[in-house]
Amino acid sequence: MHDNPFAPPTATADSPEGRGLVFSEEGVRVVSSLATWMRGLSTFYYVGVAFLALGACGALVTGSAAGVGVALGFSIVMLGLITAAIWLRSAASGFERGVYSDDEMTLGQGFRNLRAYLILMGIISILSLGSTILEVM
C-alpha cells in the first residue's frame, strides 16, 4: 500500500535519543565553572610534565644507569599526566558543549572522558593504597 502524499502530517513520537535538553541558567553556570576548574587542573598537569621533563633531562645528563632509570620513570609519569590532562580537557569540553547545545549526546561524550580519567586515577589510588599498606606492614 502506498502512502498518500497529500495526507496531513501525522503526529509521530519523538526519537527517544538525541532530543534537546533544557538547562537552567544555574545549570549552565555550574557546568561552565566545572569545565573551567577541570581545565585549570589539566594546566597544572602540564606544568608538572614540564618540571618532570627538566628532571628527566637532568637525570640523563649524569649518564649513569640510575639516571637513565630515573628518566624512564619520569617519562612514564609524564605520559600518565599528559593522558590525564587530555581526558580532563575533553570531558570539560563535552560537558560544556552538552549544556550549551542542549544535547545529551555530547554530555555522554563528556562522561566517557571523565570515566577514562577516573579509571586512571582509580588505578593510581589503588596502587597508592597498596604501597601505603605495604609500608605499614
Note the residues at the interface with another protein (CB under 8 A). 16-19, 21-24, 26-27, 30-31, 33-34, 37-38, 40-41, 44, 47, 95, 104-105, 107-108, 111-112, 114-115, 118-119, 121-122, 125-126, 128-129, 132-133, 135-136
Shortest gap between Cβ of 4 and another protein (angstroms)? 31
Shortest gap between Cβ of 48 and another protein (angstroms)? 9
Burial of 55 (C-beta count, 10 Å sphere; 0-12/13-18/19+): middle
Nearer to another protein, 34 or 60 (CB): 34
Burial of 87 (C-beta count, 10 Å sphere; 0-12/13-18/19+): buried
Residue 77 CA from chain centroid, whole number? 17
**Nearest residue to 96 (alpha-carbon basis) of 16, 39, 18:** 39
Reading the block at residue 84, the C-alpha cell is 590525564
Shortest gap between Cβ of 122 and another protein (angstroms)? 4
Nearer to another protein, 82 or 118 (CB): 118
